[in-house]
Amino acid sequence: MVPSCLVLLLCLCLICTGATPAAESSSTAKSANSVDAEAYRVNTDAINSIVSRISSWMKDKQKHDQLHDFEDIAMEFQQRGPIRPFVTLAYAQTLDGMIATKAPKEETTSSNMHLSSPPSMLLTHHLRRMHDAILVGGSTFLRDTPRLNVRLPGNTQNAVELERPMPVVLDTRLSSLQRLVFGGLVAAPSSQTSKEETIPDMSFDKVRAHQPVICCSSEAAHSFLDILEIFQDQQAMKRRPKKTYTISVVKKIDENGDSTRDIYMPIKITVRITHHKKHEDDEVQDVTFTLLPCTLDDNSKMLDLNHVLIQLREQFEIDSVMCEGGAGILSSFSNSLRGRRIVDCICVTIAPTVIGGKCGLPAFGELDISKLCDGERSSENGNDDDASMASLKMLTIRKGNFVPMGQDCTFVGRFPRR
C-alpha cells in the first residue's frame, strides 16, 4: 500500500510539471523546436520569479538591519548585538525527502549524485550568483569534492571570476581537510612520539573549490599549524624529493589588541608545491585556503552557527550565505529555529524520484522537531501515546509556494523574523 503522503507528493509533482499522457509523436522538427523554446521561456520566467522574490527578502532584511542600527544609535546604551548575513537553505531532494544515497558502511555521509533536472541546476547557479558565499559541511566537502562556484551558460571566464561567491566549509576539527590533504588523519603533535611520526605528503588534487574558507575550532586551527610546521621540518630533511613545499601563513591580528578576539582571527595559508621532473620543466601548483576559528556550541560541541555567520560578515563582509548541505548542516541550521533564528528562507527542489529510507539519506535526519515545540500538551484521556502525539508539532512555512521547474517542482518560502 502506498503511503498517503507519497501519493500527495506524486500528485503535486504531476500538477507542477503538467504531466499528461504521451500523445503520438507526429510533430515536425519545427514544432518540436517551438516546444523547446516555450519550455525554455517558462523555465526562465520561473527562475527569474524565484530570484526576484529572494532578492526582495534580502533587501527587506537589509532595511530591517539598518533600522536597528539607527535605533541603536538613538538608544546609546542598548546594543542588539552583531548583525548576521541573510541565510538561504537551498538543496534538492526526492519525493520521499532524501537528498542522496548513503555511502557504503556509513550512516550520515552521502555519496555524490545528481537529483535535479537541467532547469533546476540552472536555478541553483542563479541562486549561487546572488549570494556572497556558498556553505557546505565537512563531509560534503570531503566526499563530493564540490567546486562551489557559478557556472552559467554564456559566461566568459572573466565574468565568472568577478561573480565567484566565497566557498565556506564547516569542519569543526578539520578532519575532512586532513583526509583531503594528507589522505587521512594526522595525530596532533602534542607528544615526542607524534613528532617523530612521518607526516604523508600533501596533495590538493581533491580540493576543487577556489580559496575556500574553512570554519573550525580555535584548537583545531592551531593544531593544524603545528602539523604544518613539523611537516616542513620533515620535508627539509629529504634528499632529492620529487616534490618540494613552500608554506606561508598569514594571521590577522585584532586591530584593538583584544587577545580574546585575536584567537578568532582568520589564518590565511598558501602552499606552493613544486613537482620536479627529470626530463621536463618543473610544475608549480599554488593553493590558498583560510582557516576561520569560531566558538563551539556548549551543548553539541560543534561550531556555533550564529558565531560562524557573524565571523563571515565581520571578517569577509559577507552579507548573504547560501547553505547547500549536507544533511547534518541542514538539520543544524533548522534546529536553530527555536531560539535565535539564523535562517531567512528555504528553496528546495523536489525531483520525481524515490530512494527509500533503507538506502536514502534524509534531508533533516538530525532535526529534533520536539525542541521546536513551544510546550507539551496533556492528553484528556490520560493516554501517554495520545499525549505525545498531541505535543508533537510540525514546522510550517506559511509564506511560500511551489513553482514548476522542468520535470521538478521547487518550493520557496520565507521564515518569519524573531
String of DSSP letters for 353-391: ----TTTEEETTTT--GGGG-S-----TT--HHHHHHHH
Q: State the pTM of this model.
A: 0.82
pLDDT at 105: 58
Per-residue DSSP letter, 336: G
Element (H, E) at 101: strand 98-101
Provide the pLDDT confidence category of residue 73 given band limits of 50, 70 and 90. Answer: very low
Question: Cα(124)–Cα(295) distance, rounded to whole angstroms?
Answer: 30
Residue 296 near residue 219 (C-beta atoms within 8 A): no
pLDDT at 110: 52
Chain-wide mean pLDDT for the chain? 80
Answer positive or negative: Cα dihedral of 325, 328, 329, 333.
positive
- CA distances 378 to 218, 375, 384, 396, Å, are 45, 10, 8, 22
304 half-sphere exposure, CB direction, 13 A CA radius: 16
| DSSP alpha helix (H) spans, 274-336 | 305-316, 327-335
Provide the pLDDT confidence category of residue 376 given band limits of 50, 70 and 90. Answer: very low
pLDDT at 80: 58
Residue 216 has pLDDT above 70, yes or no: yes
pLDDT at 378: 35
Report residue 30 as a C-alpha cell.
519545427
Q: What is the mean pLDDT of residues 83-108?
A: 83
Residue 115 near residue 125 (C-beta atoms within 8 A): no
Question: Cα(353)–Cα(407) distance, rounded to whole angstroms?
Answer: 10
Report residue 52 as a C-alpha cell.
526576484
pLDDT at 82: 83
String of DSSP letters for 166-232: EEEEE-TTSHHHHHHHHSS----S-SHHHHHSPPPPP--TT--SSS-EEEEEHHHHHHHHHHHHHHH
Question: Cα(197)–Cα(175) distance, rounded to whole angstroms?
Answer: 18
pLDDT in tens, 240-274: 888 999 999 999 887 777 778 889 999 999 999 99
Nearest residue to 343 via CA among 325, 323, 327 = 323
Question: Cα(226)–Cα(188) distance, rounded to whole angstroms?
Answer: 8
pLDDT in tens, 53-70: 999 999 999 998 887 655
Considering the chain, what percentage of its residues have pLDDT values greater than 70?
Answer: 72
In degrees and rounded to multiples of 5, residue 294 shows phi and psi of -135, 160
Provide the pLDDT confidence category of residue 317 given band limits of 50, 70 and 90. Answer: very high
Question: Cα(331)–Cα(297) distance, rounded to whole angstroms?
Answer: 15
Considering the chain, what percentage of its residues have pLDDT values greater than 90?
Answer: 49
- The number of angstroms, rounded, from the C-alpha of 243 to the middle of its chain's C-alpha atoms is 33
pLDDT in tens, 19-39: 444 444 444 444 444 545 655
Residue 131 has pLDDT above 90, yes or no: yes
